[in-house]
Amino acid sequence: MSTPMELTWVGHATTLVDVGGYRVITDPLMTKRVAHLRRRRPLPSADLHEADLILLSHVHLDHLHAPSLKRLRPTVDVLTPRGSGLLLRKAGFDRVQEVDVGDRITTGPVTVEVVPAAHKHGRGPHSRVTARPVGYVVEGAGRRVYFPGDTDLFDAMADLTDIDAALLPIWGWGPTLGVGHLDPTRAATATGLIRPSMVVPIHWGTYSPEDGRRQLPAWFEQPPELFEQALTDASLRDRLHLLEPGGSVSLP
């Protein structure tokens, strides 16, 4: 029997891909607060800090977050878009490899393919750091998992073949989305382009702006319902596997 691959959605864009005990974590965001945002879900358990490989998709603060990264051991391997390596070295990581679209890296039992993403290149208005955003396809245990980071639709999504699970963002951390993001309808379109065996919606229902209110806004929990309806309209509902933050699914 092949080694199973287990996927855990930790929250926001943070996912854990476990291949027989080799742990790949994406865009770690594991603090109660991030700038003006507050986490509305429980923090991940401490054992998540024992990752073997970090995949970083782009340099925005909620995806390359130094305080969260420092909770992982500094000897972990890190793949990050070209131009962002210095940020990781300043955070104390030595095993940093900058990557470009088209790269393939084999480490432990997994091979990682670097694929395009359609998103802003800068870190923000107070930083001069720029790096071309990327996505990743993680291959291991005979399975292929697509993690796009933040992205809008792009034609080459149709070139992503034999994807067993697509971890697709469907929202963000506020009531509206800027350019370079998938909303529920566009994420359903992406599902149709990629045709994965399974789609797990991520990047929703984790952080929201601190406004002093205890009640969560309506937009916080609605995205998966809208995504499910969009998939149903596209005759793709059977591919949906909905997880709450902390939930897992195995790909045997």
**Cα–Cα distance between 116 and 214 in angstroms, integer?**
39
- Kindly tell me if the per-residue pLDDT of 95 is higher than 60: yes
What is the arithmetic mean of pLDDT over 4-11?
95
**Cα–Cα distance between 132 and 118 in angstroms, integer?**
9
Pairing of strands 77-81, 96-99: parallel
Report which of residues 124 and 29 the model is more confident about. 29
Q: Binning pLDDT at 50, 70 and 90, where does residue 175 land?
A: very high
Residue with tokens 């009640």: 215
Collect all residues with Cβ–Cβ distance below 8 Å to 242 and sequence separation of at least 6: 200, 201, 224, 228
Percent of the chain scoring above 70 in pLDDT: 98
What is the arithmetic mean of pLDDT over 32-43?
93
Extract the tokens encoding 139. Answer: 């291959």
Task: Tell me the CA distances in angstroms from 158 to 42, 65, 73, 189, 232, one per residue in order.
Answer: 36, 30, 36, 11, 20
pLDDT at 2: 59
- Kindly tell me if the per-residue pLDDT of 76 is higher than 60: yes
Collect all residues with Cβ–Cβ distance below 8 Å to 32 and sequence separation of at least 6: 38, 39, 43
pLDDT at 124: 73
Residue with tokens 């996505």: 135
Extract the tokens encoding 5. Answer: 């691959």
